[in-house]
Amino acid sequence: MISVLIASMGRPFLLSTLESIAKARVPKGETVEVIVADDTRDGAVVRLIAGWNTGLPICVLPVGAGNVSHARNACLDAAAGDWLIFVDDDETVEPDWLEGHLSAARDFAADAVFGPVFPRYPKGTPAWFVAADPLFQDWKWDEDGRQHPNGRTGNTLIRRSALGDLRFDPAFGRTGGEDHDFFLRFAAEGRRMVVTNRARAYEEIPPERATTAYALRRAVRGGQIYAETRLRGSGSGAVIAFTLDALVKVAVGAGLWLAIRLVDRPRAFRYAKRSATNIGKLKGVIGSRPMAAWG
């Protein structure tokens, strides 16, 4: 069995997510269940899908904790599948999505498989912003089966037998980064994690996120989370080296942004984003936690 797991705050786009999953071909010999953790306090997910039928067995779990880690853990605890696939409620998947994930897991003897999530920017988004594509995570997806040291849950398969008792840390449940922390610990247990381009998903970007301000805030948050997880248990020497490295990268990124912003705006913004990530790392060094990103 394949368990498709979705943590949701009741976004209406969830219906499009479920429709795309229903259209995905099921690999021979497998069955599919869909588990949606409703993390709203008023049962918004239940109301959203009431009377709506895709032909898939869908289980809605009332969580209502306002904490994505609790929602994801509820999905893990309820899942019956040998394969667990996380997808977000603002994503759609391709018809060969399930086949792609399972074939990659089997071909590369992987315990986790990460597929790409391609942003779909709204109409009216500036062309230069689309060209910069700041909301896309470029993990060299075409290098099929390449091992990757960390992960996220946006479009990800986990082999159930490799999971054990590992769960998402509620300390990251409001700020985000719970998936980054989870897969660092998953990898530390010797699990094999790979990337693949066989299982593709698409993220619907709302207008309020298709902005430079949002992209830079997200980059800062990512840097803060990276620092918090990377420096956990580190001594003062490692912290100093990490800080110096981040300071240099802030300066280099800002300098390159200033140097080329008038001739190549998309590339310049990518450098600005790198600088913002390293500003986040510096904030993480001094113990600054990210603002809430869930709820």
Q: What is the mean pLDDT of residues 191-216?
A: 97
Dist. CA 253–CA 278, nearest whole Å? 9
- pLDDT for residue 293: 78
More confident residue, 50 or 104: 104
- pLDDT for residue 56: 86
Question: What CATH number matches the domain at 2-208, 3.90.550.10, 3.90.1150.10, 3.30.420.40, 3.30.43.10?
Answer: 3.90.550.10
Q: What is the mean pLDDT of residues 172-192?
A: 95
Query: Strand, coil or helix: what is 64?
Result: coil
Q: What is the mean pLDDT of residues 114-141?
A: 97
Query: Please, which residues have CB within 8 angstroms of residue 271's CB and are 6 or more apart in sequence?
Result: 253, 254, 256, 257, 260
**Do residues 57 and 1 lie in contact, with contact meaning Cβ atoms separated by under 8 Å?**
no
Q: What is the mean pLDDT of residues 50-71?
A: 91
**Do residues 270 and 212 lie in contact, with contact meaning Cβ atoms separated by under 8 Å?**
no
Q: Is the pLDDT of residue 143 over 80?
A: yes
Helix axes 178-188, 68-78, angle to 10 degrees: 50
Delimit the domains of the chain by residue range: 2-208, 212-285
- pLDDT for residue 290: 82
Dist. CA 101–CA 167, nearest whole Å? 21
Using 50, 70 and 90 to split pLDDT, how confident is the model at 289? Answer: confident
The per-residue pLDDT of the chain, averaged, comes to 95
Dist. CA 224–CA 176, nearest whole Å? 10
Read off the pLDDT of residues 246-283 as tens digits, 9 standing for 90 and up.
Answer: 999 999 999 999 999 999 999 999 999 999 999 999 99
Read off the pLDDT of residues 65-81 as tens digits, 9 standing for 90 and up.
Answer: 999 999 999 999 999 99
Task: Report the share of the chain in percent with pLDDT over 70.
Answer: 100
**Do residues 268 and 261 lie in contact, with contact meaning Cβ atoms separated by under 8 Å?**
yes
Residue 272 tokens read as 């600005």
**Do residues 37 and 112 lie in contact, with contact meaning Cβ atoms separated by under 8 Å?**
no
Q: What is the pTM of this model?
A: 0.94
Q: Is the pLDDT of residue 54 over 90?
A: no
Q: Is the pLDDT of residue 295 over 80?
A: no
Compute CA distances 168 → 39, 149, 153, 234, 275, whole Å: 15, 17, 11, 22, 29
